[in-house]
Amino acid sequence: MRSEIRTAIIMGTIIAGLVVGLGAYFSTLDQIQDFNAQDMSEIDNSHLKKAPELVGIAGYINTDSQLQEKLKDKVVLYDIWTYSCINCQRTLPYITAWDEKYSDQGLVIIGIHSPEFEFEKDINNVKLAVEKFGIEYPVVLDNDKKTWDAFENRYWPRKYLADDEGYIRYDHIGEGAYDETERIIQELLKERAERMGIKVASAQPLVDIEQYKHGSRTPELYFGYDFAFGRSQIGNPEGFRPGQEVTYTIPDKLHENNFYMEGTWKNLDDRMILTSESGRIILPYFAKEVNIVASGESELEILLDGKMISEQHSGTDVNDGQTIIKESTLYNLVSIEESSSHVLEIQAKSGFEIYTFTFG
């Protein structure tokens, strides 16, 4: 064999080997790149919990008993709330705005109504609240707190965000963190869109609602002996007397962050009921806003620092110094721009039922 031919054969063999080798190399490289891309796109769910199913539901508003089945492949915001809670109420403008903004992009909001007081178990009361606050998303009545327990929750309000595969990716206790929560809603909706091959919406501005600014304030004060156990702030020497009707007299010396009763009041586990013809409550406090959770039917006269409350300082449920109690709900009595010390006096008539003072 001529040397030229031999050289050509050798060179051909080498080139063929190089082509095969390079092909195998690039094929392997493609596989590695595909594998790495897959790793980056997947979320490590090993440390995440799945949102529990809705259990023990006593009633449905804006939805039906098939709600659980409608959550498949959706990003879900679970809002645990109760309608007479002022902290819950302050979050609702954000939640209703998110529902309007993102519901057609794959977000489902569920209001899990877990009541604090017995009257909040009445579906008609909850329906009135849903209408009042403009809630159009599903609300379920968790009257026995079965779903509350399934989430291992202990607070109002609390929000859990689950991705479209059902994993809880975020939760927040109380008010605030609205921008953070909405950004995570956007991120989870983007993940869902990419996973489903849907066109991703461009970045959207966040909901612009002025946030309530808290200051120092008196803590929540309970009138039910069970609720007040371990944190009693009744200033009368008679104190709580479970199940009894007690005639209270207001002492000469008053202390801030304590409430004082006058008249005959029936002591119940969750509230007090005025049984005498008339009665009074005096409260030295420090806050911007004062609210009561109340029920029954009664007329209240509201005084601030010994005088009929002015229009400037009157809460949204006070007109000409009076509040009419008709529904079982929260009533806003005082609203002042800055936190400061005052003495609130409520003059009530028989049939007035009071559960708690809350402050802003």
Residue 266 and residue 325 share a domain: yes
Domain that holds residue 9: 1-42
Residue 191 and residue 242 share a domain: no
The reported pLDDT for the residue numbered 230 is 87
For 252, the token pair is 């000469």
Question: If you average pLDDT over residues 16-30, what whole number do you get?
Answer: 39
Residue 188 and residue 251 share a domain: no
Are 111 and 120 in contact by the 8 Å Cβ rule? The answer is no
The reported pLDDT for the residue numbered 31 is 34
Residue 228 and residue 190 share a domain: no
- Residue ending a domain, among 196, 229, 250, is 196
Residue 215 lies in a domain: no
Residue 175 and residue 131 share a domain: yes
The percent of residues in the chain predicted with pLDDT above 70, rounded, is: 88
Question: How far from chain centre, in Å, is Cα 8?
Answer: 80
Residue 130 and residue 168 share a domain: yes
- Write down the pTM of the prediction: 0.85
Residue 210 lies in a domain: no
Residue 230 and residue 173 share a domain: no
Q: Residues 6 or more apart from 92 whose CB is under 8 A from it?
A: 81, 133, 134, 135
163 pLDDT tier (thresholds 50, 70, 90): very high
The reported pLDDT for the residue numbered 203 is 73
289 pLDDT tier (thresholds 50, 70, 90): very high
Residue the block writes with tokens 């596989």? 31
Residue the block writes with tokens 């005498």? 276
Are 96 and 136 in contact by the 8 Å Cβ rule? The answer is yes
Question: Each residue of 202-228: pLDDT tens digit?
Answer: 678 999 999 988 888 999 999 999 999
Are 88 and 159 in contact by the 8 Å Cβ rule? The answer is no
Q: Is 16 exposed, middle or buried (0-12, 13-18, 19+ CB in 10 A)?
A: exposed
Residue 204 lies in a domain: no
**Average pLDDT for the chain:** 89
Residue 35 and residue 64 share a domain: no
Neighbours of 318 (CB within 10 A): 23
The reported pLDDT for the residue numbered 2 is 38
For 319, the token pair is 């007109």
Residue 216 lies in a domain: no
Q: What is the spatial distance between Cα 244 and Cα 76, in angstroms, rounded to a whole number?
A: 46
Q: Does the pLDDT of residue 29 top 70, yes or no?
A: no
Q: Which is higher by pLDDT, 317 or 32?
A: 317
The reported pLDDT for the residue numbered 43 is 64
Residue 296 and residue 261 share a domain: yes
Residue 82 and residue 174 share a domain: yes
Q: What is the CATH number of the domain that holds 248?
A: 2.60.120.260
Question: Each residue of 165-213: pLDDT tens digit?
Answer: 999 999 999 999 999 999 999 999 999 999 999 987 667 899 999 998 8
Question: If you average pLDDT over residues 13-20, what whole number do you get?
Answer: 43
Residue 250 and residue 184 share a domain: no
Q: Which is higher by pLDDT, 265 or 46?
A: 265
Q: What is the spatial distance between Cα 300 and Cα 293, in angstroms, rounded to a whole number?
A: 13
Question: Each residue of 63-86: pLDDT tens digit?
Answer: 999 999 999 999 999 999 999 999
Sign of CA dihedral 195, 200, 204, 209: negative
Are 301 and 330 in contact by the 8 Å Cβ rule? The answer is no
Return the exposure string of 154-177: e unless at least 16 CB atoms fall within 10 Å of the residue's CB, then b.
eebbbbbbbbbbbbbbbebeebbe
Residue 274 lies in a domain: yes
The reported pLDDT for the residue numbered 250 is 97
- Residue ending a domain, among 161, 196, 231, is 196
Q: What is the spatial distance between Cα 278 and Cα 318, in angstroms, rounded to a whole number?
A: 19
Residue 343 lies in a domain: yes
Are 126 and 83 in contact by the 8 Å Cβ rule? The answer is yes
Residue 52 lies in a domain: no
Per the document, the length of the chain is 360
Question: If you average pLDDT over residues 315-339, what whole number do you get?
Answer: 97
Question: Each residue of 78-133: pLDDT tens digit?
Answer: 999 999 999 999 999 999 999 999 999 999 999 999 999 999 999 999 999 999 99
Residue 140 lies in a domain: yes
Q: What is the spatial distance between Cα 302 and Cα 281, in angstroms, rounded to a whole number?
A: 10
Task: For the chain, list the strands marked E by DSSP.
Answer: 59-61, 75-81, 107-113, 139-141, 158-162, 168-173, 221-222, 245-248, 260-267, 272-274, 278-296, 298-304, 307-308, 322-325, 329-349, 352-359
Residue 334 and residue 246 share a domain: yes
Q: How many domains does the chain have?
A: 3
